[in-house]
Chain A
Amino acid sequence: MKRTLALLMVAIMAVFALAGCGGNQASNTPAPSQPASSQPGGSTSPDTNPLDGEKPVLKYLGYNVSFDPNTDLMAGIYEETTGYKVEYNVLPAENADEKLLMDVSSGADYDVMQVSVPQFQTLLAQGALMPLTDLLETYGQDILNGVSEDSWKAMSGSDGEIYGIPYKYPHPQEVTTFMVARMDLLREAGINELPTTIDEFYNTLKTLKAHFGDKYIILTGPFRQASEASVNWDIPQTITSAFGIYNDWMVDDNGKVIYMTEHENFPKMIEFMQKLMDEGLLDRDWAVNNTTTVNEKLSSGKAIIAASNRTGTMVTTPVMLGDDGLGLDWDDLGYIGALSGSDGTCKYMRTEAINQVTCILKNAKNPEHVINWINIKQQNQLYLNIGVEGVHFNYDENGEIDPINPIFAEERGNSYWYLNSTDEEAFAKEWPSRVRKSQAMWEPFDAVTNYANKHTPEIFVPNTFAFMPSLESYAKYNQSLFKATSDFILQLMAGTKSLNDLPTFMKDWENNGGENVRAEMQSWYNDFYGN
């Protein structure tokens, strides 16, 4: 009996001890229902400036990263520069949408959040966000000036108020996905130049197959990311660009909004991929591959050409060049950018789009401080993101920034996570230096993006819908529509479905929200571009 009692007491004490443990309970009060009681930072009375007094600790929620933003070097630097202490929280890598919704709807008290565009659109549609227009006028002049008009329009609600601060991808015309080719093997098969058109590409693959037979995988891909949130193209955009297909939603010559599967070249593109598959030119595990397996096949020498991107080359290039890897040289690596079609078509979408949105919850307590804080960060953009001249970087003869490694990477490497808004123009100039932190990233970037910008800038097509605000059906259905389309493409390539099934697919597509989305987008397009 005594022993049991003792055990019970221990257990109870443990429970109470735990009640005192763990973090952040003090701030976890469920919000009672509140009408919008906090003023949206309108005209403040002249004698009480909300910014006066002690700076509060700001509670921040951002996307998932692999380091702890609270203990990283950058946290200290940002605190020093802005004077604000910030408590950083991250969403999980998976199920982030659900977690975010539950947190927000049950009264989480974040002062500021940085979310993806779809998440922003959902929150906005639900009325969970605080309008920022006045706050920005009063406390965020630099933010207002640094962001373009179009970006602001995309951040606005139907009432015309601004609800989010956009972070725009700094490079307007980057060829983000490309292919890596083993030039040494190409040369061995008698090919000395990389293909630039789809026909040359096909011939290259055929020649390689004829020469090497089954010894190698000729082309491996797609470069499919694990996380649900990422958009994975099951036909590399290197190839789709040759068929004029550059996005899931496009506008045809008559101003009609069409879906990828309705594009006139879609059947031709499918037939092309089916041909490649039938002739043994593709990795037979095309439907199974992901970034890890593609990297493996390329860097182990099993594959000759592989779909990749900058992150992929960061992983594979050191292995391919290393003595304990494949022992290749830099000129054994070639990069294939967007291919053009037989008729000269080549369409690659501009990468100028909003990646992240910073927003404030309707019932947040310190909106003025938040805007002030972001404003200060933007004023110090160069220092915070690139560093001190002479220490972290120098200007080269073209006036471009040349980073000094390794200190640049060490002391500014993780800065990107803490970015909320940028002076878009200035940042576009500063950012390429960040690509230089690794030569494995820089080489393909130079070979593919810089080259295209210099020699073939006409391939870049505007992303018609880059600055589209939140649309109800789009937010709801687009992701599942894209997944269904990707699945269909894989089935077409594998032969489990044929192009005869396309009409059935389109019927399902229409019924599962496709028509609703199109209607919304068409209506927005007509308004925005004014005919």
Chain B
Amino acid sequence: MKNITARLRPGIKPRKPYGLLAYLRDHYLLYLMLIPGLFFLIVYKFLPLYGITIAFKDYSIFAGSNPIDAIAKSPWVGFKHFDRLFSSSQFVKVLLNTLIINGYKILFLFPIPIICAIMLNEIRNVAYRKLAQTAIYVPYFFSWVIVFGIFYSLLGTYGIVNSALAALGQERISFFSDTNVFRGLLVFTEGWKEIGWNTVIYLAAITAIDPTLYEAARVDGAGKLRQIWNITLPGLAPTIVLMLILKVGYILETGFEQILVFYNATVYDVADVIQTYVYRMGLGQADFSLGTALGLFNSVVAFILIVGANTVCKKLLHRSIW
């Protein structure tokens, strides 16, 4: 929504380029609107950032009269916790696992909700479309523990699929303990759970696209694929860019809960990620320092990735989150 300098009615003075005070005076309401959100940011997000210092201290929650006082009273140890994290023999391996697993998820799962949204848009039968939409988004609400139960009955070594395989004389596949298959299991179950949900977001963006564009294109003789390529996809572009940047940004952090529920010691080599590794390291210790250090590391990486990805998108696609 750029400033308009054309289309003036006679008798109205042209507006000067906006100075700060003039803008504030004319648009004070906009600033007022921002206040509740900012209030929340300060109270709940920025004030607690003080807690990041825990990552650089040997935090003992009882060191003071309350946990915040305890932060001040805990001793500084610099990068000790980060050292512990990075110099561990397993660090490179778990870092690689994190990148690989989440990389697979983005590669294989990112395009699917987009395709689904486009396809759902092509389904004319309202009942069918609504049913399909609702059906695919429900799995998102199952907790991972339930999802594990469902897929173990299906894919466990003695489950439905394997019993069929055995009946056909084939070897049973241990989906949950075979390192060759386990990552695929993770990607597949995540897809099952999240595709429908992500589709919802793209669908909303598609409904925003002006239908007359499609009509015009049809009149011009454009086939369906061309319409999708020239109208739907560009219409979805801002949403796609937003989702992609965020997914890439959070590449180190996602998937913890799923892996914790699904994995076991026999697949650590392929599925142990940074967060599960640190989780086991800190079992029984309530080590807030270590957890905060890991969180800070993740945040810094995410920030760099998000800014970086956004810059790339700005250069290549002329789109940006900000």
A residues in contact (CB < 8 Å) with B: 30-34, 97-98, 101-102, 105-107, 118, 122, 126-128, 214, 217, 226, 228, 283-285, 287-288, 292-293, 297, 302, 475-480, 483-484, 486-488, 490-491, 494, 496
Contact = CB atoms under 8 A, between A and B. Distances in A.
Contacts of B61: 101-102, 105, 126
Nearest to B281: A480
Given A287-B264, A288-B264, A31 B66 contact: yes
A32 B65 CA distance: 7
Nearest to B60: A126
A479 B65 CA distance: 28
Given A34-B65, A98-B286, A494-B177, 20 more contacts: A30-B66, A31-B66, A33-B64, A105-B62, A105-B70, A107-B66, A228-B283, A285-B158, A287-B176, A288-B152, A288-B157, A293-B152, A293-B156, A476-B284, A478-B284, A480-B281, A490-B266, A491-B268, A494-B266, A496-B269
B111 interface: no
A383 to B, nearest CB: 38
Contacts of A484: 280
Interface of B: 60-62, 64-67, 69-70, 145, 149, 152, 156-158, 166, 172, 174, 176-177, 179, 264-266, 268-269, 280-286
A483 B266 contact: no
Nearest to A302: B158
A492 to B, nearest CB: 10
20 contacts: A31-B66, A32-B65, A98-B286, A101-B286, A105-B67, A122-B286, A128-B62, A288-B152, A288-B157, A292-B149, A293-B152, A293-B156, A297-B158, A302-B158, A476-B285, A479-B284, A480-B285, A487-B268, A490-B264, A494-B265
B265 to A, nearest CB: 4
A475 B284 CA distance: 8
Contacts of B268: 487, 491
B266 A491 contact: yes
A48 to B, nearest CB: 29
A102 B158 contact: no
A189 to B, nearest CB: 20
Interface of B is mostly: loop
Nearest to B176: A288
A487 B277 CA distance: 12
Contacts of A226: 145
Nearest to A118: B284
Contacts of A302: 158
Contact of A284 (B65, B149, B174, B282): B174
Nearest to B166: A214
B184 to A, nearest CB: 16
Q: Chain B CB within 10 Å — which of A106, A217, A283 has the most? A: A106
A297 B100 CA distance: 34
A480 B62 contact: no
Contact of B65 (A31, A287, A288): A31
Contacts of B286: 97-98, 101, 122
A118 B282 CA distance: 15
Nearest to A488: B265
A413 to B, nearest CB: 27
A206 to B, nearest CB: 21
A126 B284 contact: no
A32 B67 CA distance: 12
A288 B67 contact: no
Closest 8 pairs between A and B when the two form their complex, measured CB to CB: A479-B284, A33-B65, A487-B265, A126-B62, A490-B265, A480-B283, A494-B266, A287-B264
Contact of B177 (A118, A284, A488): A284
Q: Chain B CB within 10 Å — which of A30, A126, A283, A288 has the most? A: A288
A476 B282 CA distance: 9
Contacts of A478: 284
B67 A106 contact: yes
Contacts of A33: 64-66, 69
B266 A287 contact: yes
A284 B284 contact: no
Nearest to A479: B284
B172 A284 contact: yes
B60 to A, nearest CB: 7
B290 to A, nearest CB: 11
B265 A217 contact: no
Q: Chain B CB within 10 Å — which of A34, A126, A214, A284 has the most? A: A284
A31 B60 CA distance: 18
B66 A285 contact: no
Contacts of B177: 284-285, 287-288, 494
B131 to A, nearest CB: 31
A496 B174 CA distance: 14
Contact of B156 (A105, A285, A475): A285
Contacts of A31: 65-66
Contacts of B269: 496
Contacts of B149: 292
Contact of B265 (A214, A283, A491): A491
A198 B149 CA distance: 33
A41 to B, nearest CB: 22
B68 to A, nearest CB: 8
Contacts of B64: 33
B283 A486 contact: no
B62 A127 contact: yes
